[in-house]
Structure 1
């Protein structure tokens, strides 16, 4: 049986740097503020396009909680620009996630079904939320485009976590 390595919630996140469409670097995971990183499959995925639009509809609620939002894929700059032009997000669109980073994050990775789908391996959807201490607070991983966090529940849950100082959950391991 194959086993995919996963990040462990409650651990300090090693900051990751990605390219933004505006040419600036974007660092995820550094201490300082709440950050949410949505991983999407790429421009070939209509479900991703719709979900990115839904994130945009909740952006004001997330930023009101003090959470910065970004979305990343393994797409090229040109492919990401096509998606950004379609979605018109008010949050950073990041591109060029490489295979090593996908593995480091414990993402499920897929091959294109055909050359017409895309020209590279791509990550399946995921969400990582880091707290102001740079600690991984929430993780959601999927192996298919049909499974993603309910965004209204996410906004409510983050509000609860922040207001009540709710601890990181899922921190036990066999070694504990």
Structure 2
């Protein structure tokens, strides 16, 4: 493996560790939410989301190794900047939502919708981060097939996810 490929694999592993950190925050927040009467919606699509996001990380590494494509500095460094920006956006969302942030759709009655931080500008900024990262992370090392497949598969999943969140918020917040 080339040096750039080693660095890329290390980057994908770091993103994987970041996902584990997200899951730890999510579990803590789920316990907090359920203790306050939180209601979960959309359990059916959650396993699909886990598989797709795990597949993104695996696809990045496998395609970069199997394809033998070399690192394109103009594309790679630009996409790395996008990946870093998407991580910053994701953690901004997590920090603004606080205990209300979760990888699952859990809504606590009476808390209301968060409208600060990035939510002032976008209704679902976390999904901007997901889409941006799903395109950029593979392209750091020219894994364009992974970027394309993830993006195509993510469209219906995000459609279901956003509809689920909107329904959950309408249902629980209007009780």
The two structures have a TM-score, normalised by structure 1, of 0.22
Higher strand share: 1
The two structures have a TM-score, normalised by structure 2, of 0.22
Which has the higher Rg, Structure 1 or Structure 2?
Answer: 2
Higher helix share: 2
**Does 1 or 2 have the higher relative contact order (CA < 8 Å, sep 6+)?**
2
